[in-house]
Structure 1
Amino acid sequence: MSILKDLQDLIEADIITQETAEKIKNHYKDKGDSSINRLFVVFGILGAILVGLGIILIIAHNWDELSKTIKTIFAFLPLVIGQLLCGYALIKKNQSIAWKESTSTFLFFGVGASISLVSQVYNIPGDLSTFILTWMLICLPIVYVMNSSLTSLFFIVGITYYATETSYWSSPSKESYLYWPLLLSILPHYYQLFKKRPKSNFMVLHNWFVPLSVLIVLGTLADKEGELMMVAYFSLFGLFYLIGNLDFFTEQKARSNGYKLFGSLGMIILLLTLSFSEIWEDLRKHEYVFKELITTPEFIVSVILTALTSWMFYVYQKNKSIEDIKPLAPMFIVFAITFIIGHYFSFAVVLINLLVLAIGILTIRNGAEKNHLGILNYGLAIIAILITCRFFDTDLSFVVRGILFVLVGVGFFATNYWMLRKRKKNEH
């Protein structure tokens, strides 16, 4: 690195001291070591996966020619090898993330291979969801014994697949309530990542995997009153958005903040979906029996999520002024009220459209105040999409529709041009 080569010249020219030069050398050495360690972790994990797949393929190729005893031995072989490797990593390589993650990955897939092979050899009946659930329950201790974040991510994917297989894809569908305690069981590891390695790649991946998993599985709670899940989902989006705006996440790069992205886009998409009058007409045709309604899982989860989001909003807002409220932060409350109104009055669709328009305008203002082109264009995009929706939903003439699109296009150009000129002016 050129700066390291120039250090001696800088010392001789009395620009820096010998002590400062040593600090610079140590800084770049640590940075280089960190990059090497990350590569070692990645290649170690890939190596473990490839070795495991290779062993499975070799066994599978000769499977039919093997006796039942040999098949049983081979069925447990991946499990035994994985445990021995994990034991070696714990005893001899306890400080090596690469060793712990790669051996844990091998053991994770070894457990799945052993379960499936034993079931095949002895013709043990069972469906796919039961297999995945058994696999995940056996592998949960690996996360904490090995302190393996990659196994935690595999676990989240596994329980998500279990829930979708059980409730979405099976016929007849069954409840997948076990998903929720399983998800809670992984949160202590997530918290340890937050405390010890808040900027690690594993932390970033958890910030995306956890909210995405919850979004996918929440729909499994729908039963007979599925339309109430709109309130549940909107409150969940609001909760994610508020979590994404906590100090910890705002100090991170945007790529680390899956909560804010899912929350913001989710609320906007749901509002735009409900900006069409046909949906509200269908909702008003539905009749509710209150005594039956309050016992449905959709109602219960909607109340729980709305209460939880209200608490998070209080936590987020308690030390801030009203002027600091972000446009989307209190929208879950407004949406819940509008949803109730929409079951009795037709003007709810007008309120939704005005709400989306207001969010777009406030987002543009927020972007202008922060001198942030991304936020500003996001607000313009919200308004543009709203106008596009009304293009297909109103009886306006094509001339009026064309003028609206021209105005939006001019708005995009004018606001971006003004923002760029403002930045140049501030630089000078």
Structure 2
Amino acid sequence: MNTKLEKQLAELLEANIITSDTAQKILAFYHTRAQAKPNRLFTIFGVLGALLSGLGIILIIAHNWDDLQRSTKTFLAFLPLIIGQMACAYGVFKNKKTAWVESSATFLILAVGATISLVSQIYNIPGNLSSFLLIWTAITAPFIYLMRSNLAVIIHLVLATWYACDLGYFYNSHVPWWYLLQFAWILPFYISLQKRHSESNLAGILNWILPLSLVIVLGSFTNGDTLVLLMYIALFGLLYNIGQLPLFKVQKLRRNGYTIMGSLGTVFLLTILTFEWFWKDAINESFHARGLIITALLFLSGIAVIGYLRLKKRLKDFNLFQYAFLIIGLLYLTKDLGAVHGIVLTNFLVAGLGLFAVRIGINKSSYGILNYGLLIITVLIVCRFFDTNLDFVFRGILFISVGAGFFFANYLLLKKQRKNNINSTSNTASHE
């Protein structure tokens, strides 16, 4: 039983805030809850045990591999696969706990990869890494729904991302279209998980891994297209707006990878767009039909999410971060008017995002968001420090002003928090 909980209950009993019966009921409730909760440490060690056992078997076989006959090699290649299937079947039919399910599913997924590679080596079957990864994910994809394994989802997404990167970045003439199906395969599981257990550890991890996978893979579809920056701005805008959906917005910010990644990516790319070289190159650049289609789909998807939020009346307050990608898209359409207006308006947009983040931080009493907004403004000033001919005295005044702004904004937030604490204390006293 939790010692900290027992101490707290003892203090409440001494202060006559709760009765002994209530304390016993609270203890019984948390005791039942602890028994029903899976042992995370046991699960972790179970998975590590499965990994080490699989590696040990591979090392033992590899040491004597050259001395074995082809039939023996084939049997040994399929042996881990058979063991893994038996372990998974036993876990499903006997309704074993989480540790067994995760360990057996992990072992079976690794066994499938080992069997494919060994059979290819034994019978000299030609192939490359991308085809191997594609076959591996295709065979193990059903394990996600059969085993309901958390690690199976994560491993599937990692392998799919690896496949797309290998095919798209190292073989530039190929586009990893199968990645779209691999990604879509886990979406029903992910959506169901968010509806049933949005506060679970797996949901929080997937809230980061899914958008990260999209960010990593998007470049593999561009084939060096000149619209790649605009594509990524549209993607980050889409991710930020997904993070504003009610399902994700009610969660803690550290669990909302969509919002954080969308915001950081948008600010980073817009900061790059504040330089003159981008707008000068954009005037003369050409692009492929595929890049144009992907960019248009990403922009339309972002607009669709905003439309859904507006339809559900979730856009109560104006949020500049949600519309930044649209503003840049409109500026890009007017690139033929010259580079000056694009440079100036993008600088104003980045400065506006910084000020908006400061405002959000003050309203939410969040030092992290407040200083994030101030950091955006600081980075913008540093960028202009190197590519403008401003006088050094004026530059020094700018940095002093930003430093004073950091101090003053944090002081105002601290003062606001103290005032709120005093008001809440006085309200509590008046009710008593």
Same fold (TM over 0.5): yes
User: How do residues 287-366 of structure 1 correspond to structure 2 at under 5 angstroms?
Assistant: 296-320=289-313, 324-346=317-339, 347-366=341-360
Q: Is the 8 A contact 1:363 1:378 kept in 2?
A: yes
One-letter amino acid of the counterpart of residue 55, structure 1: I
Measure the CA separation in 2 of the matches of 1:230 and 1:9.
59
Distance 1:339 1:8, change over 3 A: closer
Cα deviation for residue 323 of structure 1 reads 6.0
Question: Which stretch shows the higher mean deviation, 67-76 or 6-15?
Answer: 6-15
Distance 1:343 1:107, change over 3 A: farther
Residue of structure 2 in register with 1:230 after alignment: 229
Measure the CA separation in 1 of the matches of 2:415 and 2:249.
27
RMSD: 2.1
Work out the percentage of aligned pairs sharing the same amino acid. 44
User: When the two structures are superposed, what TM-score results if normalisation uses the length of structure 2?
Assistant: 0.91
Measure the CA separation in 2 of the matches of 1:396 and 1:305.
38
**Residues 7-54 of structure 1, C-alpha deviations (whole Å, 9 max, x = no match):** 689769865345422321123324544666222221211111111111
Structure 2 residue runs without a partner (length 5+): 423-432
Measure the CA separation in 2 of the matches of 1:33 and 1:361.
49
Distance 1:414 1:177, change over 3 A: same
Question: Which stretch shows the higher mean deviation, 160-169 or 360-369?
Answer: 360-369
Residue of structure 1 in register with 2:70 after alignment: 68
Match of 1:368 among 359, 362, 365: 362
Measure the CA separation in 1 of the matches of 2:364 and 2:310.
19
Measure the CA separation in 2 of the matches of 1:249 and 1:104.
29
Cα deviation for residue 4 of structure 1 reads 3.0
Measure the CA separation in 1 of the matches of 2:249 and 2:8.
37
Q: Equivalent residue of 2:387, what SS?
A: coil
Alignment of 1:217 onto 2:217: yes
Q: Is the 8 A contact 2:241 2:306 kept in 1?
A: yes
User: How do residues 6-405 of structure 1 correspond to structure 2 at under 5 angstroms?
Assistant: 15-30=17-32, 32-33=34-35, 37-94=39-96, 96-170=97-171, 173-223=173-223, 226-286=225-285, 296-320=289-313, 324-346=317-339, 347-405=341-399
Q: Is the 8 A contact 1:208 1:259 kept in 2?
A: yes
Distance 1:158 1:8, change over 3 A: closer
Measure the CA separation in 1 of the matches of 2:12 and 2:421.
31
Measure the CA separation in 1 of the matches of 2:197 and 2:58.
34
Number of residue-to-residue matches in the alignment: 419
Distance 1:397 1:103, change over 3 A: same
**Residues 87-144 of structure 1, C-alpha deviations (whole Å, 9 max, x = no match):** 11011134x1221111000000000000011111111110111111110100001111
**Residues 352-388 of structure 1, C-alpha deviations (whole Å, 9 max, x = no match):** 0011111111221222222222221111111000001
One-letter amino acid of the counterpart of residue 165, structure 1: D
Cα deviation for residue 320 of structure 1 reads 4.3
